[in-house]
Amino acid sequence: MNDKTNPPASGSQPNKKSNDGLLIVYTGDGKGKTTAALGMALRAAGYHWRIAIVQFIKGSWKYGELESLKRLAPEVELHVAGSGFVGIVDDKLPLEEHKKAAGEAFRLTLEIVSKGEHQLVILDELNVAIDLKLLEIEQLMEMLDNKPAKMNIVITGRSADKTLIDRADLVTEMREIKHPYQKGILAKKGIDF
């Protein structure tokens, strides 16, 4: 029996070396994408990895992870780079402001990746920024072409581009089956933010 933890069967040729970094995508309409990525950051911090998290889109609300991640410094650094959710909830900003924030977040990402000092880089809600055309998928593909081989990249957000899905080593789709909002229950502190 050859499970996923065993090496490939003889004669098969893996595309990557076992010590190369992975490209991981958490997408879908269900909740838990950022939570899964933050869980990975928590695990990696336990091994004293250097972790950078860049949050695209999010930015105008106070999230619990903003405080808890401070406790994991210096291994974990969080950059809240978005201008808030685009076109929903309490967004009153013009689309150009969101594009500018996404561009600045991506420039920060390029700087982090090019330095090669982190074993794990999490790009939270980047899929949404690409889907909303705040950034272009080609920009991301170019960055991935030039990242350090051993760096692991995690990208979250609904509506992941097919090009990214095809390129990724691991893709998990979160699918909503039930949501408290359907019963009129609003987002809860410590659970949703």
Element (H, E) at 67: helix 64-68
Per-residue pLDDT of the chain (193 residues; tens, 9 = 90+): 444 444 444 443 356 677 899 999 999 999 999 999 999 999 999 999 999 999 998 655 567 787 889 899 999 999 988 655 554 555 566 768 878 989 999 999 999 999 999 999 999 999 999 999 999 999 999 999 999 999 999 999 999 999 999 999 999 999 999 988 788 888 777 777 7
pLDDT of residue 125: 94
pLDDT of residue 1: 43
- Specify the pTM: 0.84
pLDDT of residue 188: 78
Distance (Å, rounded) from C-alpha 34 to C-alpha 41?
A: 10
Q: Please report where in the chains the tokens 């990402």 appear, as a residue.
A: 109
pLDDT of residue 67: 86
pLDDT of residue 51: 98
pLDDT of residue 186: 82
CB 37 within 8 A of CB 156: yes
Query: Can you state the percent helix, strand and coil of the chain, rounding each to 5?
Result: 35, 15, 50
Q: 40-175 falls under which CATH superfamily?
A: P-loop containing nucleotide triphosphate hydrolases (3.40.50.300)
pLDDT of residue 59: 58
pLDDT of residue 89: 56
φ and ψ at residue 38, rounded to 5 degrees = -70, -35
Distance (Å, rounded) from C-alpha 65 to C-alpha 29?
A: 21
